[in-house]
Amino acid sequence: MHAVPSGVLTGVHYLDGDFACGEGAMAAGCRFVAGYPITPSTEVVERIARRFPMMGGVFIQMEDELASMAAIVGASWTGTKSMTVTSGPGFSLMMENIGLAAMMETPCVVVNVQRAGPSTGLPTMVGQGDMMQARWGSHGDYAIIALCPQSPQEAFDLTVDAFNLSEQYRVPVLIMMDECVGHMTEKVVIPTADRIEVVPRTLTAKSPAEYWPYQTNGGMVPEFARAGDGYRFHTTGLTHDERGYPAMSVECQERCVRRLVEKIRSNADRIVRFEEEETDGADVVVVAYGITARVARAGMELARKRGVKVGFFRLVVAWPFPERRIRELAGGVKAFVVPEINCGQMVLEVERSAAGKAAAISLPHAGGGVHEPERIAEALVEAVK
Amino acid sequence: MSTALEGTEVRPDEHPIAPFMRMDRMPHIWCPECGLGTVVKCFAAALEETKVDLDKLAIVSGIGCTGRTAGYMKLDGFHSTHGRAIPFATGLKLGRPELLVTVFSGDGDLVGIGGNHFIHAARRNMDLFVILVNNFIYGMTGGQNAPTTPIEARSSTMPFGNFERAFNLPHLAASCGASYVARWTCLHVRRLSKAFGEGLNRKGFRFVEVIAPCPTLYARLNKLGGGLDLMRFYHDDAEVRNGADTREVGIAYQQKIICGKFVDEEKPTFLEMMHAHYRRILGEKYVPMPPEGGLLRG
């Protein structure tokens, strides 16, 4: 189905990443947002708060991020597409109910405009230190999807995609933006509504008597019923059976949790998305995401001028990680160089996927700024020696 | 089973409140002599009495003994995370405003870990009916101190008696702006059902505190006898004082429990204030969330 025109600000705009993300949410059909102010993400909800009353949306500023995340899970069970927005400290608080959303299989979108941590860190300055938290931050085993926009245009596009993926897989989708992209202003082209594909919330066609909330009939994603349509279903954060009833057994835990993980893992090839350039014949590949991908391009150009055959690999979807493609590339290159604004997080995935066939070289940056392109160039030169 | 009931056994599905319950989940996990069965029975009686549309009634619980209620009632039931029943319910209500959203949870859940959400929902006069079952202790985890445990009462984490002051919950709710505030015990079944009926029919933040016996932990740790002894205590020491000043209804250990309806006022709710405000400021441009929610159809 196409986007509903009331939410789509068609035109060519000059927007920062935060505003573009807000526009993407509205275009995707998001009509409920709960949030708590936190730098550098607040502009996303400020944008939405200003536009929602004209399109049937509700924004509420909750008392904290625990409440914001809980509220969007609740709202999503009414079939209303829902989102919350935060940065590091708030992201930590949201972990509790991100786990609930994963367990209840609730479609929702969480935006983290990353700043440098840990703790309060550098509130106004860039970081990419929440990448592993995005994957593993809530307790127990589950799977999520995480996207990394590199520009305001992508902040718009990927936010639409995030909603679509969350509907398709009934999973929380995280937009792992960073402060630089959030606060960078660039051209953003918003197409007409009929050019924006949105996945609507699909409601079960079964009658209440036939319906079980977690029955998948061998598939991976159960059918959805929303509150207020007479299904009188039950859902819980406890381990549950197909009826949604708590079931405290090893067998039920196995069925319930394995499917939560497998519905993403087994569809990883469909979900994974990356941008790859000149990796054929490359001796070294730079792997990056978000703002760092743009800096890495500059570093790569410098290294190429010095005669190094550099390939470029950008994570658009960070989770699930494109392990199959990295493994393939590892057979043909000497090394991967992974600059990121943390002390080495996604490099661990590169190293795991490369499985010893190529080196994975971390280029850490503790945050507050981006890498010097020269530093990346030097690392690329060094990697092929 | 007592001999008096022999030959008159009632089939589970013939129980008077069976239509409101998930009978396939019986037996429940609550202890013998626990007050929760009574509270649920009174709630079901109120549903029967008020004839609210059960298809539009959602129930949200947090975690704990009372938190299991959402799973036992045959309604759209959400068993959420510890302390977050109120914000979860807030999302349900705002996402589909035609829903009647009830929160059913315990004292530790709603005013311990969830205390911040409780005061803010009351401040907003959010359109929620909140039933808080207060047994003065954390039951599910084994008798730890609660923000409602009276001074001197023992708990497993205050083995020498509690020295922290307890919340006066009706006063907390009233002072934050709740539309409806009442307190009853498990003994006051008719008044409790009536209060539940009022709670279902009023608007804004409606709050009913139910004092309930926990024989397994609170009564045992404090040598207060069994559930029946606590009911006897409610009989002898609960005092009905409708309209009482909520500043004066705090609960001291084994002292008088003031019950009654303390607040019943018509005040603009969160949704009413939001709609009125946007209509005034934005006029025709304002598009409210449809009552059936923001579900996008093709």
**Beta carbons of B42 and B50 less than 8 angstroms apart:** no
B28 touches chain A (CB under 8 A): no
Nearest-Cα residue of chain A relative to residue B55? A230
Whole-number percent of chain A with pLDDT over 90: 99
- CA B57 to chain A, closest CA, distance in angstroms equals 7
**Beta carbons of B100 and B58 less than 8 angstroms apart:** yes
Tell whether A136 and A13 lie within a shared domain. yes
Measured CA to CA, the distance from residue B122 to residue A258 in angstroms comes to 40
pTM here? 0.97
Which chain A residues touch B292 with a CB distance below 8 Å? Answer: 228
Query: Per CATH, which fold does B17-285 belong to?
Result: Rossmann fold (3.40.50)
Tell whether A61 and A190 lie within a shared domain. yes
Measured CA to CA, the distance from residue A128 to residue A130 in angstroms comes to 6
DSSP state of A357: S
Which chain B residues touch A73 with a CB distance below 8 Å? Answer: 80, 88, 91
Question: Is A80 within a domain?
Answer: yes
| Cα dist from B192 to B40, B61, B185, B196, B197, whole Å | 10, 19, 8, 6, 9
Question: Is A232 within a domain?
Answer: no
- CA B6 to chain A, closest CA, distance in angstroms equals 32
Nearest-Cα residue of chain A relative to residue B297? A200
Q: Whats the size of chain A, residue-wise?
A: 385
Our measurement of the distance from residue A127's CA atom to the centroid of its chain's CA atoms, rounded to an integer in Å, reads: 16
Tens of pLDDT, residues B254-298: 999 999 999 999 999 999 999 999 999 999 999 999 999 998 764
* Interface subset of B 35-64, CB within 8 angstroms of A: 54-56, 58, 60
Find all residues with CB under 8 Å of B280, minimum gap 6, and list them: none
Tell whether A161 and A34 lie within a shared domain. yes
Structure tokens at B151: 């001074």
Q: Of the candidates B87, B282, B286, which has its C-beta nearest A70's C-beta?
A: B87
Helix (H) or strand (E) holding A363: strand A359-364
pLDDT surpasses 60 at A43: yes
Q: Which ipTM value was assigned to this complex? A: 0.98
- How many domains does chain A contain in total? 2
Q: Of the candidates B54, B79, B87, which has its C-beta nearest A236's C-beta?
A: B79
B115 touches chain A (CB under 8 A): no
**Residue B251: per-residue pLDDT:** 98
Q: Of the candidates B60, B75, B292, which has its C-beta nearest A232's C-beta?
A: B75
B92 touches chain A (CB under 8 A): yes
Q: Of the candidates A56, A73, A82, which has its C-beta nearest B290's C-beta?
A: A56
Structure tokens at A155: 């902040």
For A26, the 3-state DSSP assignment is helix
Find all residues with CB under 8 Å of B74, minimum gap 6, and list them: A232, B19, B20, B21, B22, B54
A139 burial type by CB count under 10 A (0-12 exposed, 13-18 middle, 19+ buried): exposed
pLDDT surpasses 60 at A212: yes
Can you point out the beta strands (E) in A133-283?
Answer: 145-147, 172-178, 185-190, 234-236, 274-277
Q: What are phi and psi of A362, to 5 degrees?
A: -85, 135
Domain boundary among A195, A210, A238: A195
Of B243, B276, B281, whose CA–CA distance to B262 is shortest? B243
Nearest-Cα residue of chain B relative to residue A208? B55
A200 touches chain B (CB under 8 A): yes
Size of interface A-B (CB pairs under 8 A): 190
CA torsion sign for B222, B225, B227, B230 is negative
Question: Is A212 within a domain?
Answer: no
Helix (H) or strand (E) holding A327: helix A323-330
**Residue B12: per-residue pLDDT:** 75
Tens of pLDDT, residues B87-136: 999 999 999 999 999 999 999 999 999 999 999 999 999 999 999 999 99
- Work out whether strand A172-178 and strand A108-116 pair parallel, antiparallel, or are unpaired: parallel
**Beta carbons of B279 and B266 less than 8 angstroms apart:** no
Average pLDDT over residues A342-358: 98
CB pair distance less than 8 Å for B81 and A234: no
pLDDT surpasses 90 at B61: yes
Question: Is A168 within a domain?
Answer: yes
**Residue B298: per-residue pLDDT:** 44
Q: How many CB atoms lie within 10 A of CB B4?
A: 7
A214 touches chain B (CB under 8 A): no
Question: Is A286 within a domain?
Answer: yes
pLDDT surpasses 50 at B1: no
A68 touches chain B (CB under 8 A): yes
Measured CA to CA, the distance from residue A127 to residue B3 in angstroms comes to 71
Question: Is A297 within a domain?
Answer: yes
Q: How many CB atoms lie within 10 A of CB B291?
A: 11
- Work out whether strand B76-79 and strand B100-106 pair parallel, antiparallel, or are unpaired: unpaired
Tens of pLDDT, residues A111-160: 999 999 999 999 999 999 999 999 999 999 999 999 999 999 999 999 99
DSSP state of B42: H
A92 touches chain B (CB under 8 A): no
B156 burial type by CB count under 10 A (0-12 exposed, 13-18 middle, 19+ buried): middle
Which chain A residues touch B86 with a CB distance below 8 Å? Answer: 67
- Work out whether strand A11-16 and strand A185-190 pair parallel, antiparallel, or are unpaired: antiparallel
CB pair distance less than 8 Å for A80 and B295: yes
Domain boundary among A195, A223, A250: A195
Half-sphere exposure of A318 (CA within 13 A, CB side): 29
Question: Is A216 within a domain?
Answer: no
- Work out whether strand B180-185 and strand B129-134 pair parallel, antiparallel, or are unpaired: unpaired
Q: Which of B92, B93, B119, B125 to mutate to test the interface with A (most CBs of A within 10 A)?
A: B92
Measured CA to CA, the distance from residue A193 to residue A200 in angstroms comes to 14
B293 touches chain A (CB under 8 A): yes
Tens of pLDDT, residues B164-213: 999 999 999 999 999 999 999 999 999 999 999 999 999 999 999 999 99
Tens of pLDDT, residues A246-295: 999 999 999 999 999 999 999 999 999 999 999 999 999 999 999 999 99
Q: Which of B22, B60, B81, B124 to mutate to test the interface with A (most CBs of A within 10 A)?
A: B81
Tell whether A188 and A327 lie within a shared domain. no
Q: Which of A232, A239, A248 to mutate to test the interface with B (most CBs of B within 10 A)?
A: A232
A227 touches chain B (CB under 8 A): yes
Measured CA to CA, the distance from residue A194 to residue A171 in angstroms comes to 26
**Beta carbons of B58 and B90 less than 8 angstroms apart:** no
Measured CA to CA, the distance from residue A230 to residue A207 in angstroms comes to 9
Structure tokens at B295: 């579900």
- CA B53 to chain A, closest CA, distance in angstroms equals 10
Tell whether A41 and A189 lie within a shared domain. yes
CB pair distance less than 8 Å for A74 and B75: no
Q: What is the mean pLDDT of chain B?
A: 95
For A382, the 3-state DSSP assignment is helix
Tell whether A54 and A168 lie within a shared domain. yes
Measured CA to CA, the distance from residue B243 to residue B226 in angstroms comes to 31
What is the domain extent for residue A36?
A: 5-195
**Residue A218: per-residue pLDDT:** 86
Is omega for the bond preceding A118 within 30 degrees of 0, making it cis? yes
| Cα dist from A317 to A302, A320, A327, B270, whole Å | 26, 7, 17, 39
Of A379, A367, A312, whose CA–CA distance to A180 is shortest? A367
Helix (H) or strand (E) holding B174: helix B169-176
Structure tokens at A344: 């080495």
Sheet bearing A274-277, strands edge to edge: A274-277, A310-315, A284-288, A335-340, A359-364
Q: Of the candidates B79, B92, B288, which has its C-beta nearest A74's C-beta?
A: B92
**Beta carbons of A172 and A109 less than 8 angstroms apart:** yes
A57 touches chain B (CB under 8 A): yes
Helix (H) or strand (E) holding A176: strand A172-178
Measured CA to CA, the distance from residue A157 to residue A163 in angstroms comes to 10
Quote the longest CA-to-CA distance of chain B.
Answer: 70
Of B161, B164, B162, B157, whose CA–CA distance to B142 is shortest? B157
Whole-number percent of chain B with pLDDT over 70: 96
Tell whether A81 and A171 lie within a shared domain. yes
B96 touches chain A (CB under 8 A): yes
Nearest-Cα residue of chain A relative to residue B278? A53
Question: Is A60 within a domain?
Answer: yes
CA torsion sign for B157, B158, B162, B163 is negative
Find the radius of gyration of the CA atoms of chain A.
21
A53 touches chain B (CB under 8 A): yes
B178 touches chain A (CB under 8 A): no
CB pair distance less than 8 Å for B91 and A32: yes
Average pLDDT over residues A300-319: 98
Is omega for the bond preceding B159 within 30 degrees of 0, making it cis? no
